[in-house]
Structure 1
Amino acid sequence: MAGTQGNQGNSQEHQGNSPADQAREAVVEAALGRLDLDAKTRLLAGQDMWSLPALPEIGLESLVMSDGPIGVRGVRWTADDPSVALPSPTALAATWDPELARRAGVLLAQEARRKGVHVLLAPTVNLHRSPLGGRHFEAYSEDPYLTGRIGTGYVSGVQEGGVGTTVKHFVANDAETERFTVNNVVGARALRELYLAPFETIVENAHPWGIMTAYNSVNGSTMTEHHYLVNEVLRGEWGFDGFNVSDWMAARSTVGALEGGLDVAMPGPRTVYGEPLAQAVRDGRVEEAKIDEAVRRVLRLAARVGILQGAEPVVTALPDPVDGEALAREIARRSFVLVRNERDVLPLKPGKVALIGAAARDARVLGGGSATVFPVRTVSPLDGLTAALPEGSLNYAVGADPNTELSVFDEGFKLRAVCRDADGNVLGSESAPGGQIKWMGPGLPEGVTYDRLHTVELTGSFTPREPGTHTFGIQGVGAFRLTIDGTTYFDDVQRPAKDDPFITFFGAPVPRAEAGLTAGEPVDVSLTYVVELAEGDVPMKAVMFALAHQDPQHDPDDLIAEAAEAARNADTAVVVVATTERVESEGFDRSDLRLPGRQDDLVRAVAAANPNTVVVVNSGSPVELPWRDEVAAVLLDWFPGQEGGAALADVLTGAYEPGGRLPTTWGSLTDAPVTQVTPVDGELPYTEGVFIGYRAWQKEGRTPSYAFGHGLGYTDWTYESVKVEGSTATVRVTNSGTRTGREVVQVYLAPMETDPERPVRWLAGFAGVEAGPGETVEVSVELPRRAFEIWEEIADAWAFVKGSYAVEAGRSIADLRVTTTIDV
């Protein structure tokens, strides 16, 4: 086997060698030479929540960063500044299409430029080590190769649009419990073969302009101070020449961070850099030359994105404009994974359809936490199917509501945020359509300053969509006054439940009022917050709170009975089940894999009433499906983005086939081989080594609900043969069905000689192919050299493992159709 790792995506030409790169470097060096120590250290500290300071003396504009990865929020966390919302990263990975990921990146660069953003804080390429990871919806896959391929496409697309990326979270940030302090103990083989591998692939093939280092420690050193992994591996071995920014509030030590290779400590202005870093130089604890290295990398980034005077940006001709709504819809339908389809119940046949589930009406299109953006519109499954099906053929029933707590971003509110000083004078205002305030750093309304701000009032109206007792509540900490329809229900201080600031930021709202309301009749609402800014040495000033709401609660048994009756009177029943923000979000891991509320009972009742029951699973990562063999079809639609309902209608009606394949194994928590995400005495040992995901399932001999790579379409495929020449596997397949379709041909390697230290088999390559009915096509899949290598701990190097291998091609790791053997 003479092949190399090769191009694993639509990569850019490596920066640093062309005349344009050399010219940029000359400008960078000249600018660096004109800065004094204080200016340099100030540049590395950030000036606020999202940006670095401008330095007019060298022609440097302020560099602006923003959260992703499904959209570009910008510097203001508000629904008043909407963004395109693409499907979740798990959905993007389910397409198994690096080119589609590249197109997503191009769109996000377009969005970033529209919002004045130079660097996108994405993608997340941590792995699905355990299904309990609370933030898995924001990462791609359990497999490092698939993750690297999708991430390469994404980064390439964003940077083709002239916007930088920060591949995150470097490294082993695979769970949320105690994430600020946990020490993850990871063996060298697992670290290299699994957790570092996607970063290495992206650095080699997409040449990202940034990396974000994580909160956690790895093998005793916090990642913001990890000299070996940052300076020796990332920059030394891999040749990474971009900038390294901390996760927000992750940097802890001035000298340790600089020695460990951290360039920028965010957010500013109060960080371990800035004045403390300048003083460290004056005290002789840090060499100014090391500060120059960090500043050089920041200036290089500024030059690449076009905000350093005299330097030509990397991208001078922007890509053609992208239709965000159309691309969001395409990615969604290409991501949906049909895991079961008995009697070809899908596509839907003509007739009456009962659509059931609270998530069918109030769609959950994205995960919680810092990945949140605010789309200008959201198409629910009810919206999509109403538009797609003949008039009068669709009937809707709630069935069971997974939301057992109050929710922010609720419908029916028309609110403004009014800012006042201590004397009650209005300083400024802005609309707050989602009822949530998250002002950080400079994100205040026009005319408002932190030194004068005393209260913020969310005021306006709420129009109920159903009659009964409505519950209102407050998310946040501090003094509040809540008034509904002229009655003050709460006028007191709400205190924090936990120390983690992200729990306060993203935590559950507290119910504070119950009011009987009439459907369609608006009532006045007001929530006033007395602003208390954190005192002392805090990294940023912020105002964060929200007004929350819950519709009247009904007897679950009655709702399920009504849904079953609706199903009984329909030709097909479509049940949408979902997780909630209290299940999948940032800041906490999951305690189980069950669907919240009475949704399992709902599915069973509907399936008993109608044999043609289709279940749509609206979750960003695996959930248990105990009824999966009792229903006709199961379709996974992830968090499908703003156009999810339209895409769902496309797939259910057969206008398009579901294109997704599982990027991670779905199974029960009882059977899952790796479940430990809670540290003991501050440490979390990765005792499973290289055996996570399908590697672990196969080692343990356990059968999951649905295997890695699984996914059905609306046609059938016959695998004819696989042959290998050099480093290329050629797979011959025939569309043996009745309609045009797309297949993801997956190629796995399995060593013929059993080795307990290596997986039974692993993904070595894949490629998508389209064909019409009866058409036979050949697809070429490159087998990278790395697929035959292991990390040799004694030699501290990659070792090519010679021997005989089965090269297996098929539809999933559990459905391999053709095999050949090679000797390498």
Structure 2
Amino acid sequence: MKHKDIIANMTLEEKASLMSGKDFWTTQEIDRLGINSIFLADGPHGIRKQAEAADHLGLNESIPATCFPTAATVANSWNTDLGEKIGRYLGEEAVAQRVNVLLGPGINMKRDPLCGRNFEYFSEDPLHAGKLAAGYIKGIQSHGISACVKHFAANNQEERRMSIDTIVDERTLREIYLTAFEIAINEGKTKTVMSSYNMLNGAYTNENIHLMREILRDEWNFNGVVVTDWGGSNDRVAGLVAGNELEMPTTAGETNREIIEAIQSGKIEEDVLDECVDRLLDLIFTTEAVYRRPQPTEFDVTEHHQVAQEVAEESIVLLKNEGNVLPLNKGIKVATIGDFAKNPRYQGAGSSIVNPTILDNTLDCIEASGIVNIGYEPGFERYGKQNKKKIENACALAKEADVVLLYIGLDEATEAEGLDRQNMNLPANQIELLHALNKVNQNIVAILASGAAIEMPWIGEVKGLLHGYLSGQAGAKAILRVLTGEVNPSGKLAETYPIRYEDTPAYHHFPGKEVSVEYRESMYIGYRYYDSANVNVRFPFGFGLSYTSFEYSDIQVNKDGVTFNLSNSGKVAGMEIAQMYVACQSDAIFRPKKELKGFTKVFLQPGETKSITIPFDDKTFRYFNVKTNQWEIEEATYSIIIGASSVDLRLEDSIFIEGTNAALPYDKEMLPSYYSGQANNVSEAEFEALLGRKLPISTWDRTKPLGYNDTIAQCQYAKGGFARFAFRSIRFAHWFLRKIGKRELANLIMMSVYHMPFRGVARMTGGIINMPMLDGILMIVNGKFFKGLRHVLSERSKMQKVAKGTN
């Protein structure tokens, strides 16, 4: 241990006190030993340090900070150096606000397009997500503070996220859902990892010995700190044994006492606690070192805003450009239509909400861009309400224009932490507006704002489609620069856009509604499924247009990697993202048709040619063998494919790779769907054959009393009449608030009440309600109203007496 001498001087109570927060955002300090409190702040795309009362839902405004484009946006840049640059600027602002741990980046896989938090994640591909995340981490930690990669692991739905059990086979877990974390930890050297809320194959992640000890600590040699997601601790002692150092937020000492009692009773050895204390002390001392010398408390707001603009410019994706409608010619008259032009949709909702230092909007920037704007009309109500008059006014303006710039997308209440989207559609009132505009002016360029994939049955009604994703506080100006050709678009999609939601691989098994969610599609997510099952898509993974053209030639493959020539064959300078896919020519082990194993982004002047090398690494040919329980290489010939997207394949060669001669892990006849790639509707029996065990029951047991890990939603069948009444009241409040247009407040009910497990009532209230009081609440829920009420009041009285005695 690094800090053995300090730990030897600590009492058991002092050591235990460090294992949970002092309050909502800070850790406990021990003054007599020089152990300071450190501050943890949300910050995947900007610092969210709250000046007022703390919360984890984005309710209270935070100190102004630069709102950079979200991870889903930056992912489209495919530029790891750009990720590192963002990280450096985030780190600088974190230090200015005296933050020790920045809670990001988020790197969960985009298993399904409806996951409500996809805007905060990079990709459907683990290599891509891991490489971008490693860049962010290096940049953030270059300032001496810590990044915190999250949410570890298999947290791919928001509904019931605090109690859902993710059922996934071991190979898929390793290859798809853990590889990005492995890259972030091994290459990014993150100092902190945040455990996710969910269970994984029957155990909460922060108590999961296989995940936290065997993989994270033993295989990856991670010696940093694991922090729970806020309120994400179930059994504090089990979490400690698994190596979870820090529980957040505070529980007012309740779980510290559980640790003390477990050691005093001999349930666990004190060495287990010492090991966790040592790692937490290392995080505290290393991140506090930067503050031993004076640090600026301000940063250059203008410079950081400019960087946010540059990031957005490189991340914007041009999806359609019929008749070269873009870039706009000088002097062309445009009508600017759409509420998002005036009130930009630039970030997601929830714990990542940033209070921007500056916020550009299109109407304020359009004149300086050189565009001749003849007027603006909102065209639609932002939150979906029908408004015929707004459509009529928009059409009247569109008739007078050469080109219509139509700003459309998803609103803030649709994409939010704690909730999954209900469908992949644009709001109906926006589509109605588009239909009406198309009848009066067919030269429509749509500018899309959303953090995730949407269906586009209307795409034939626009000539141009520019996707800005959620482009941060400077996104409006960045988009205008792409529209006018000042910037040549170079972004490419980091996720597939299916034609319809029914085509998606997890369609039949997303989200898990009661006890568990089954990942029956196995490793066939995103392009891995669409390619293998030959399903047509709207836009493939890795797709994006440019104002120039690129040619690929002269591929050469050797044991170290692939080399080829890349040329700019057009008339303007531009950047191309070359992607390396690998396909095994053996069918002895089921695999996706091909997988991304490398990529690079290259800037080229018109007529310029560069020789490009993409190296192989330890992940290029490996697969996880469930029989040997380790990574293996299948001896086979592998196709090395260079593409401009996952379907626009330009060059191909092959190489024979010697294997590790491991036994084949599967009986092919038992897994026909997986060997064919047709894995979007796998039977229970076949999934069990893949898992190697029976599936747990996925539905609630409505006959048992409700307990700590049951949710408020389950009060619908509670024995207690008061609980059932409370459930109906919550449902009514949600319906009523949506009906009157208060969608964000309605969402809050679902996020913070409806899907909350009962233990969350204690874990998230900072000690106002403790577990003994919760026992009384559960008595009420389970039909013992007066006994439960007496218990709550009695335990409340005891807690107040203890608090007075402490003071």
Instruction: Provide the residue aligned with 2:429 in structure 1.
Output: 598
Shift of 1:680: 4.8
Q: Compare 298-307 and 45-54 and name the one that shifted more.
A: 298-307
Shift of 1:32: 1.9
**Pairwise mapping of residues 530-679 of structure 1 onto structure 2 (< 5 A)?**
556-667=387-498, 668-675=500-507, 676-679=509-512
**Pairwise mapping of residues 467-506 of structure 1 onto structure 2 (< 5 A)?**
none
Instruction: Provide the residue aligned with 2:276 in structure 1.
Output: 294
Instruction: Provide the residue aligned with 1:354 in structure 2.
Output: 335
The partner residue of 2:189 within 207, 213, 220 is 207
The partner residue of 1:399 within 365, 368, 379 is 379
Instruction: Provide the residue aligned with 2:314 in structure 1.
Output: 334
2:263 and 2:464 mapped to 1: Cα distance? 65
Whether 2:199 is the aligned partner of 1:217: answer yes
Shift of 1:579: 0.7
Shift of 1:48: 0.2
Q: Compare 778-787 and 287-296 and name the one that shifted more.
A: 778-787
Instruction: Provide the residue aligned with 1:774 in structure 2.
Output: 607
Q: What amino acid sits opposite 1:185 in the alignment? A: I
Shift of 1:371: 0.8
Instruction: Provide the residue aligned with 1:136 in structure 2.
Output: 118
Q: What amino acid sits opposite 2:358 in the alignment? A: R
Shift of 1:755: 5.6
Question: CA contact under 8 A between 1:110 and 1:321: conserved in structure 2?
Answer: no
Shift of 1:721: 2.6
Q: What amino acid sits opposite 1:120 in the alignment? A: L
Shift of 1:40: 0.9
TM-score by length of 2: 0.77
1:800 and 1:817 mapped to 2: Cα distance? 26
3-state secondary structure, aligned to 2:268: coil
2:120 and 2:158 mapped to 1: Cα distance? 12
> Higher relative contact order by CA 8 Å / sep ≥ 6: 1 or 2?
1
Change (3 A) 1:317 1:235: farther
Shift of 1:321: 7.5
Question: CA contact under 8 A between 1:73 and 1:373: conserved in structure 2?
Answer: yes
2:248 and 2:654 mapped to 1: Cα distance? 52
Instruction: Provide the residue aligned with 1:176 in structure 2.
Output: 158
Whether 2:204 is the aligned partner of 1:373: answer no
Q: Compare 680-689 and 560-569 and name the one that shifted more.
A: 560-569
Question: CA contact under 8 A between 1:707 and 1:814: conserved in structure 2?
Answer: yes
Shift of 1:318: 14
1:144 and 1:196 mapped to 2: Cα distance? 8
Whether 2:579 is the aligned partner of 1:746: answer yes
3-state secondary structure, aligned to 2:109: coil
Question: CA contact under 8 A between 1:673 and 1:700: conserved in structure 2?
Answer: no
Shift of 1:643: 0.5
1:114 and 1:642 mapped to 2: Cα distance? 19
Q: What amino acid sits opposite 2:440 in the alignment? A: A
3-state secondary structure, aligned to 1:603: helix
The partner residue of 2:175 within 178, 193, 199 is 193
Question: CA contact under 8 A between 2:62 and 2:354: conserved in structure 1?
Answer: no
1:773 and 1:679 mapped to 2: Cα distance? 51
* CA shift digits 1:788-821 (9 cap, x unpaired): 1110001000011221121111210010111112
3-state secondary structure, aligned to 1:598: helix
1:193 and 1:373 mapped to 2: Cα distance? 33
1:681 and 1:73 mapped to 2: Cα distance? 33
Instruction: Provide the residue aligned with 1:55 in structure 2.
Output: 30
Question: CA contact under 8 A between 1:383 and 1:646: conserved in structure 2?
Answer: no
Shift of 1:756: 6.9
Question: CA contact under 8 A between 1:357 and 1:577: conserved in structure 2?
Answer: yes
The partner residue of 1:800 within 633, 641, 644 is 633
Shift of 1:319: 15
Change (3 A) 1:801 1:737: same
2:514 and 2:159 mapped to 1: Cα distance? 12
* CA shift digits 1:122-156 (9 cap, x unpaired): 11110000111110001100000000100100111
3-state secondary structure, aligned to 2:197: coil
Shift of 1:229: 0.7
Instruction: Provide the residue aligned with 1:94 in structure 2.
Output: 76
3-state secondary structure, aligned to 1:785: coil
Shift of 1:380: 1.6
2:200 and 2:628 mapped to 1: Cα distance? 21
Question: CA contact under 8 A between 2:558 and 2:655: conserved in structure 1?
Answer: no
Q: What amino acid sits opposite 1:716 in the alignment? A: S
2:379 and 2:300 mapped to 1: Cα distance? 42
Shift of 1:597: 3.9
Shift of 1:732: 0.7
2:555 and 2:4 mapped to 1: Cα distance? 53
Whether 2:133 is the aligned partner of 1:158: answer no
1:282 and 1:784 mapped to 2: Cα distance? 48
2:619 and 2:313 mapped to 1: Cα distance? 32
Shift of 1:358: 0.7
Shift of 1:363: 0.6
**Pairwise mapping of residues 69-84 of structure 1 onto structure 2 (< 5 A)?**
69-76=44-51, 78-79=60-61, 81-84=63-66
User: Larger % of strand: which?
Assistant: 1
Q: What amino acid sits opposite 1:665 in the alignment? A: T
2:653 and 2:297 mapped to 1: Cα distance? 45
Consecutive unaligned residues of structure 1, counting only runs of 5 or more, are: 1-24, 405-552
Q: What amino acid sits opposite 2:341 in the alignment? A: A
Question: CA contact under 8 A between 1:226 and 1:261: conserved in structure 2?
Answer: no
Q: Compare 788-797 and 68-77 and name the one that shifted more.
A: 68-77
1:215 and 1:672 mapped to 2: Cα distance? 25
Number of equivalenced pairs: 646
1:257 and 1:659 mapped to 2: Cα distance? 44
User: Larger % of helix: which?
Assistant: 2
Whether 2:90 is the aligned partner of 1:108: answer yes
Instruction: Provide the residue aligned with 1:489 in structure 2.
Output: none
Shift of 1:317: 13
3-state secondary structure, aligned to 1:768: strand
1:587 and 1:316 mapped to 2: Cα distance? 36
1:172 and 1:674 mapped to 2: Cα distance? 14
3-state secondary structure, aligned to 1:71: coil
Change (3 A) 1:173 1:244: same
Question: CA contact under 8 A between 2:366 and 2:373: conserved in structure 1?
Answer: no
Shift of 1:320: 11
3-state secondary structure, aligned to 1:306: helix
2:352 and 2:406 mapped to 1: Cα distance? 27
1:258 and 1:587 mapped to 2: Cα distance? 26
1:46 and 1:138 mapped to 2: Cα distance? 25
2:394 and 2:233 mapped to 1: Cα distance? 52
Instruction: Provide the residue aligned with 2:562 in structure 1.
Output: 729
3-state secondary structure, aligned to 1:746: strand
2:232 and 2:391 mapped to 1: Cα distance? 47
1:206 and 1:366 mapped to 2: Cα distance? 25
Instruction: Provide the residue aligned with 1:389 in structure 2.
Output: 370
2:156 and 2:360 mapped to 1: Cα distance? 31
* CA shift digits 1:385-443 (9 cap, x unpaired): 233135x5342111112314xxxxxxxxxxxxxxxxxxxxxxxxxxxxxxxxxxxxxxx
Q: What amino acid sits opposite 2:343 in the alignment? A: D
The partner residue of 1:363 within 330, 334, 344 is 344
Change (3 A) 1:756 1:233: closer
Instruction: Provide the residue aligned with 1:757 in structure 2.
Output: 590
Whether 2:336 is the aligned partner of 1:345: answer no
Q: CA RMSD in A?
A: 2.2
3-state secondary structure, aligned to 1:658: coil
Q: What amino acid sits opposite 1:342 in the alignment? A: E
Q: What amino acid sits opposite 2:19 in the alignment? A: L
Question: CA contact under 8 A between 2:48 and 2:62: conserved in structure 1?
Answer: no
1:651 and 1:580 mapped to 2: Cα distance? 23
TM-score by length of 1: 0.76
1:93 and 1:757 mapped to 2: Cα distance? 28
